[in-house]
Amino acid sequence: MAPNPLIEAFTNLVNRIRGLSYIDEATLKEVLREIQRILLRADVSADVVLSITKTIEERFRQEKPPQGITSKEFLLYLLYQELVKALGGEEAPNVNVSKRPYKLMLIGVEGSGKTTSAAKLARFYIKRNLRVGLIETDTYRPGAYHQLKQLAERVNALFYGEENSKDPIAILRHGLEYMQRNRVDLIIIDTAGRHRNEEELLKEAKAIYDEAKPDEVMLVIDATVGRQAAAQTEAFMKYVPIHSVFLTKMDSTAKAGGALTSVIRSGARIKFIGVGEDIDEIEVFDANKYVSRLLGMGDLEALIEKIRAIEEESKIMEEIEEGKINLLTIKKQIDSIMKLGPLSKILELLPTSMLPMQYRAVMLDEEKMSNAQEMLRRWRHILDSMTKEELLNPDIINASRIRRIAKGAGVTPKDVKELLNYYQLMKRMVNQIKKSRRRLGRLVGE
């Protein structure tokens, strides 16, 4: 994406936070005010801005940063998380085409970028080895037929249109037949945006929808309208179901933040963004990726990964404390530790670490450390060659199973036994803790 004022402002803020020696009350307030200024300038509506900063503030005060994470880093993490949340959450949209042929209809106001986006989508899916056809039903804009026909040729998509027709429904019907005859996997229907008035536009959209019975209606919105995007979405939703949104011209507006948050608030799902006029300038909208770029992250990504892994580990610890322990628990634990990177870097995390006492004592020794790492890797292989049943119910693992598992993992039966001993130890410890809790509970009269 081209340099944009939003990215610049956020990157500056991130660098400032990093440069702080510590975060006191005054600097916290200042940082929050700066976040508000940036978001308001990006045309994000005031209530969304307030809810983002309020949540960051509350979480910063109430939640303790995970071990090994400074309060500065934690603040950056909260900023990242709350922005992702405001942009629709963690999961990237599913852009798979679920059936063949799949009919995708584009609608939107004049000049929003429908025809350009139709070609971008064709290119996107052709790259994914789909046969794509484009149908032009716009009978209003002079030259619409040639515009899409040329684009279709450029991206190697099939094309159907009728240059002199004034009947979009007839064009559509012929176009669908043509595409089906040619065994097209994905049929993209472009519609007109130029009408005498809005009502006429919406009514035609509805008529085309009824005739095409598309699998997906994608609303194309020009991001330069900023927070007005929600009103547009809602107007269209009254006439046809809106399954997804293509937000265009993200490259040429300082109001992208407003467009994104307002569309999301209207309940629509943003699937694609247009980031330039060229046919390749299309991206799947992924809130995580978008926010990472917004904050100029790069290396911040490592921090996010780390915090996630720590959170995952504390979830596992909770499970263990509740007494739900089996070999699957151990497997998850090893995964989260491995994700945290070299063991030497996670010394601070040792209290919650899974390593048995005898290993903790030797952690500072480089050579022994790499032995411990080696051991974890070995254990991971061993766990991989167990069946689900064995993971969930380790008591069934007898001598012959141990031999099979060892062979599968390329280790000795002794190695497998070592892991099983560790598991038994953990289980005993957990039971002890549970017992003493219960005793304590009885003492205080629970």
Ligand X SMILES: Nc1nc2c(ncn2[C@@H]2O[C@H](COP(=O)(O)OP(=O)(O)OP(=O)(O)O)[C@@H](O)[C@H]2O)c(=O)[nH]1
Q: Which residues bind ligand X (CB under 6 A)?
A: 108, 110-116, 138, 141, 144, 193-194, 248-249, 251-252, 274-277, 281
- Minimum Å distance from CB 112 to Mg ion? 9
Asked if 102 contacts 184 with a C-beta cutoff of 8 angstroms, the reply is no
By a kind-dependent CB cut-off of 5 to 8 A, residue 248 interacts, out of Mg ion, ligand X, none, with ligand X
**Considering only 67-75, 111-119, 204-212, 229-237, which stretch makes contact with Mg ion by CB under 5 A?**
111-119
Position 288 contacts Mg ion (CB under 5 A):
no
Rounded to an integer, what distance in angstroms lies between the CA atom of residue 388 and that of residue 383? 10
- Minimum Å distance from CB 88 to ligand X? 19
Q: Where are the alpha helices (DSSP H) in 213-255?
A: 229-237
Rounded to an integer, what distance in angstroms lies between the CA atom of residue 243 and that of residue 327? 42
3 state DSSP class of 15: helix
Q: Which helix (H) or strand (E) holds 437?
A: helix 413-443
For Mg ion, the closer CB: 190 or 286:
190
Instruction: Please list every residue from 301 through 320 that binds Mg ion, using CB under 5 A.
Output: none
- Minimum Å distance from CB 89 to ligand X? 23
**Residue numbering of the annotated binding site:** 108-115, 190-194, 248-251
- Minimum Å distance from CB 225 to ligand X? 13
Q: Single out the residue of 115, 224, 292, 353 in contact with Mg ion (rule: CB under 5 A).
A: 115
For Mg ion, the closer CB: 114 or 249:
114
- Minimum Å distance from CB 266 to ligand X? 19
**Residue numbering of the annotated binding site for GTP:** 108-115, 190-194, 248-251
By a kind-dependent CB cut-off of 5 to 8 A, residue 266 interacts, out of Mg ion, ligand X, none, with none
Q: Is 103 left (phi over 0), alpha (psi -120 to 50) or beta?
A: beta
Instruction: List the x/- string, 71-110, binding to Mg ion by CB under 5 A.
Output: ----------------------------------------
**367-401: b or e for each residue (b if 16 or more CB lie within 10 Å)?**
eebeebeebbebbbebbebbeeebbeebeebeeee
For ligand X, the closer CB: 221 or 287:
221
Asked if 356 contacts 429 with a C-beta cutoff of 8 angstroms, the reply is no
For ligand X, the closer CB: 120 or 131:
120
For ligand X, the closer CB: 195 or 417:
195
Q: What is the 3-state secondary structure (H, E, C) of 247-289?
A: EECHHHCCCHHHHHHHHHHCCCCEEEEECCCCCCCEEECCHHH
Q: What is the full DSSP assignment across 283-331?
A: EE--HHHHHHHHTT-TTHHHHHHHHHHHHHHHHHHHHHHTT--SHHHHH
Q: Which helix (H) or strand (E) holds 445?
A: none
Asked if 1 contacts 7 with a C-beta cutoff of 8 angstroms, the reply is yes
Give me the residue whose beta carbon is nearest to ligand X. 193
Rounded to an integer, what distance in angstroms lies between the CA atom of residue 412 and that of residue 370? 20
Instruction: Give Cβ neighbours of residue 164 (< 8 Å, ≥ 6 apart).
Output: none
By a kind-dependent CB cut-off of 5 to 8 A, residue 252 interacts, out of ligand X, Mg ion, none, with ligand X
**Considering only 60-68, 95-103, 115-123, 251-259, which stretch makes contact with Mg ion by CB under 5 A?**
115-123
Give me the residue whose beta carbon is nearest to Mg ion. 115
For Mg ion, the closer CB: 142 or 441:
142
Rounded to an integer, what distance in angstroms lies between the CA atom of residue 274 and that of residue 272? 7
- Minimum Å distance from CB 131 to Mg ion? 23
> Which is it for strands 186-190 and 102-107: parallel, antiparallel or unpaired?
parallel
Beta bridge partners of 105: 189, 217
For ligand X, the closer CB: 194 or 265:
194
- Minimum Å distance from CB 176 to ligand X? 20
By a kind-dependent CB cut-off of 5 to 8 A, residue 227 interacts, out of ligand X, Mg ion, none, with none
Angle (nearest 5°) at CA 431 between 427 and 434: 140
By a kind-dependent CB cut-off of 5 to 8 A, residue 306 interacts, out of ligand X, Mg ion, none, with none
For Mg ion, the closer CB: 115 or 244:
115
Residues within the interface to Mg ion (CB under 5 A): 114-115
